[in-house]
C-alpha cells in the first residue's frame, strides 16, 4: 500500500460534492434504498454537516425518506439553530424507539434546544434512570457544569485495592460508554482523587488505589460556568474531572470531548462578535439575520458620520489641495488594520487569561512600541509615495507624520479599549471593534488634515 506523505489537503475532511449530489438525487427520486446506501458509513458529524448545508425543504424531504433508519447521533452533532427543526420532522414512534440509545449528556444537549412539547416527547421515551438523569441536568442553570456533566459516573471507595476495583468494574453492568478515570470517594461520597484506567490496569492487584492517584486532582463546582470549565480543561490538560455539589458530594463527571466543544463554541463566538454578528450561523433565516446585524450597522453608521464631521472641519483645506482627498483614506485604513491586529490579540489574550493586571503595563508598552515602529516604517514608504506621486516634499512629510501618529494610537486603542470594556463588565469581543475603528478614523483624518492645515497652508 502506498502512503501519501505529502500532508493533508485543505479539503481532506470536506464532504464530497458528488456524494452530496447523489444523496440529494436519491432524496428527490424518493429512492430509500439508494439513500441508505449513500449515507451508510458516514459519521454522524458528516451527516449533520450535510443537513446544515442543504435547504430546509431538502432537509425535510431527506429525513422523511430516511424514516425509521434515522441515526439519532446526528441530532447531537447538529447546529443548535436547527435541532428543533429537525426534531420536529421525527415521528413519536421514531423518538420512542431510538432516543434511549444516546448517552444522557447527549440527550441533554439535544433536549435543551427543543420546545416544551418535543422535550416531553424525548423525556417520555427514556427509561426511569436515564429520564431522571436528564431531568436532573436540565434542572441546573444553562451554561453551567451541571448541564455539561454526565451523571453516569464510575466511582469506588478510596480504601480499595486495585484488585477490588477491577473485579467490581468487571461485574458491573451498564458502565458508561466512554470514561477515563475511576473516581475515589470517601464514605460521604465526596471525591478525594481519581485513578486513570491506564494506571489501574498497569498496577498489581494488591496495590491500594490511594497510592496511584493522579497528583493534580481538580473537582468542578456544579454551578461553575461552562466557559470556566473549558478553560480549566485546556489550562491543566484534564481528560475528565468530577463535578461536585456545594457540600462537596459527587454529582457527575465532565469529559474532555464536552469541554472542548464548549471551548470551540467560545472561540467561535468571540470571532463572530468581533465582526458584530453575534451568535449567527449559515442556517439562520434571512429576516432574523438582517435584524441581528442591523443594530451594529447603525452604530457603525454613527461612527462613520463622526469621522465625516472631522473631515468637514477641514473642508477648505481639502479644497486647496485635491491630493489630500486622494491620500487621507490611506492613513485611516492603515490605522484601522493596525488597530484590528492589536484588538484581536488583546481579546484572545483576555479570553485565555493571558492578559492580566500583572502584565498589563508591559503588554501596553509592547503594543505601543509595535505601533510606533510600524508607523515609522510605513511613514518612510508612504512619505516617498506622496512625494513621488504629487511632487511635494511637505505633503510627503505630512503623510508620514500622520501615519506615525495614527498607527501608534491604533495599537494603543486596540489594547486599551478591550481591557477598559472588560473592566466595565462589557463583552470586549462584541463592542471593541466599533470603538477602535472610530478612534483610528478620527485620529487618522484629524492628524493628516490637521497637519496639512499647519504645514501646507
Q: 250-255 and 240-244 as β-strands: parallel, antiparallel, unpaired?
A: antiparallel
Residues contacting 194, CB < 8 A, separation 6+: 181, 182, 183, 184, 213, 214, 217, 240, 242
Rounded CA separation 344/336 (Å): 12
pLDDT of residue 3: 46
Burial of 59 (C-beta count, 10 Å sphere; 0-12/13-18/19+): buried
Domain 155-255: state its class. alpha beta
Q: What is the pLDDT of residues 210-245, one digit of tens each?
A: 999 998 899 999 999 998 999 899 888 999 999 999
Q: Which residue has the cell 416531553?
A: 120
Q: What is the pLDDT of residues 176-220, one digit of tens each?
A: 878 899 999 999 999 999 999 999 999 999 999 999 999 889 999
At residue 376, the pLDDT reads 93
Which of 77, 79, 62, 117 minimizes the C-alpha distance to 95?
117
Q: Do 240 and 195 touch, CB atoms closer than 8 A?
A: no
Q: Where in the chain is the domain with CATH 1.10.357.20?
A: 286-455
Q: How many CB atoms lie within 10 A of CB 399?
A: 31
CATH 1.25.60.10 residue ranges of the chain are 17-139
Q: Rounded to an integer, what distance in angstroms lies between the CA atom of residue 215 and that of residue 296?
A: 48
Which CATH number does the domain 286-455 belong to among 3.90.1150.10, 1.10.10.60, 3.90.1140.10, 1.10.357.20? 1.10.357.20
pLDDT at res. 83 = 86
pLDDT (tens digit, 9 = 90+) per residue, 385-419?
888 888 888 888 988 999 999 999 999 999 999 89
Instruction: Could you please state the CATH topology (level 3) that the domain comprising 17-139 is classified under.
Output: MgtE N-terminal fold (1.25.60)
Give the H or E element holding residue 347.
helix 322-351
- Burial classification of residue 101, based on how many CB atoms lie within 10 Å of its CB (0-12 exposed, 13-18 middle, 19 or more buried): exposed
Q: How far apart are CA 225 and CA 222, in angstroms?
A: 9
Q: Are 223 and 144 in contact (CB under 8 A)?
A: yes
Quick one: DSSP state of residue 339? H
pLDDT score for 2 = 46
Q: Which cell is 165 given? A: 476495583
How deeply is 196 buried, as exposed, middle or buried, from its count of CB atoms within 10 A (0-12, 13-18, 19+)?
middle
* CA 273/CA 343 separation, integer angstroms: 12
Strand partners, 242: 253
Residue range(s) in the chain whose domain bears CATH number 3.10.580.10: 155-255
Report d(CA 229, CA 219) in Å as an integer: 10
Intervals of the chain under pLDDT 50: 1-9
Contact 281, 81 (CB under 8 A): yes
Amino acid at each position: 500500500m502506498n502512503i501519501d506523505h505529502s500532508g493533508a489537503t485543505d479539503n481532506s475532511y470536506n464532504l464530497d460534492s458528488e456524494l452530496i449530489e447523489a444523496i440529494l438525487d436519491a432524496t428527490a427520486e424518493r429512492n430509500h434504498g439508494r439513500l441508505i446506501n449513500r449515507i451508510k458509513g458516514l459519521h454522524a458529524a458528516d451527516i449533520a454537516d450535510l443537513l446544515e448545508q442543504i435547504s430546509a425543504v431538502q432537509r425535510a424531504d431527506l429525513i422523511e425518506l430516511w424514516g425509521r433508519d434515522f441515526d439519532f447521533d446526528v441530532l447531537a452533532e447538529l447546529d443548535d439553530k436547527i435541532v428543533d427543526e429537525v426534531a420536529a420532522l421525527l415521528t413519536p414512534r421514531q423518538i420512542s424507539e431510538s432516543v434511549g440509545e444516546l448517552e444522557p449528556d447527549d440527550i441533554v444537549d439535544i433536549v435543551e434546544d427543543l420546545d416544551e412539547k418535543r422535550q416531553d416527547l424525548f423525556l417520555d421515551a427514556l427509561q426511569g434512570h436515564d429520564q431522571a438523569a436528564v431531568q436532573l441536568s436540565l434542572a441546573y442553570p444553562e451554561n453551567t457544569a451541571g448541564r455539561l456533566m454526565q451523571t453516569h459516573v464510575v466511582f469506588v471507595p478510596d480504601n480499595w485495592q486495585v484488585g477490588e476495583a477491577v473485579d467490581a468494574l468487571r461485574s458491573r453492568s451498564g458502565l458508561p460508554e466512554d470514561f477515563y478515570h475511576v473516581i475515589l470517594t470517601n464514605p460521604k461520597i465526596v471525591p478525594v482523587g481519581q485513578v486513570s484506567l491506564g494506571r489501574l490496569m498497569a498496577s498489581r492487584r494488591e496495590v491500594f488505589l490511594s497510592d496511584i492517584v493522579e497528583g493534580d486532582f481538580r473537582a468542578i463546582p456544579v454551578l461553575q460556568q461552562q466557559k470556566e470549565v473549558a478553560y480549566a480543561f485546556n489550562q491543566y490538560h484534564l481528560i475528565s474531572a468530577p463535578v461536585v455539589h456545594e457540600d462537596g458530594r459527587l454529582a457527575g463527571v465532565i469529559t474532555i470531548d464536552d469541554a472542548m466543544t464548549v471551548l470551540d463554541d467560545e472561540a467561535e463566538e468571540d470571532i463572530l462578535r468581533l465582526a458584530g454578528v453575534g451568535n449567527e450561523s449559515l442556517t439562520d433565516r434571512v429576516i432574523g439575520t438582517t435584524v441581528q446585524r442591523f443594530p451594529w450597522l447603525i452604530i457603525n453608521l454613527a461612527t462613520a458620520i463622526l469621522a465625516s464631521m472631522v473631515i468637514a472641519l477641514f473642508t477648505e483645506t481639502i479644497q486647496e489641495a485635491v491630493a489630500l482627498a486622494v491620500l487621507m483614506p490611506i492613513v485611516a485604513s492603515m490605522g484601522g488594520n493596525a488597530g484590528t491586529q492589536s484588538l484581536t490579540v488583546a481579546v484572545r489574550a483576555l479570553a485565555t487569561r493571558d492578559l492580566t493586571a500583572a502584565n498589563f503595563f508591559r503588554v501596553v508598552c509592547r503594543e505601543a512600541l509595535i505601533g510606533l515602529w510600524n508607523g515609522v516604517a510605513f511613514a518612510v514608504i508612504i512619505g516617498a509615495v506622496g512625494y513621488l506621486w504629487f511632487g511635494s516634499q511637505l505633503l510627503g512629510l505630512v503623510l508620514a507624520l500622520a501615519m506615525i501618529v495614527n498607527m501608534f494610537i491604533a495599537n494603543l486603542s486596540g489594547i486599551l479599549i478591550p481591557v477598559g470594556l472588560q473592566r466595565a463588565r462589557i463583552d470586549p469581543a462584541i463592542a471593541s471593534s466599533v470603538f477602535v475603528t472610530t478612534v483610528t478614523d478620527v485620529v487618522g483624518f484629524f492628524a493628516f488634515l490637521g497637519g496639512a492645515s499647519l504645514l501646507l497652508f
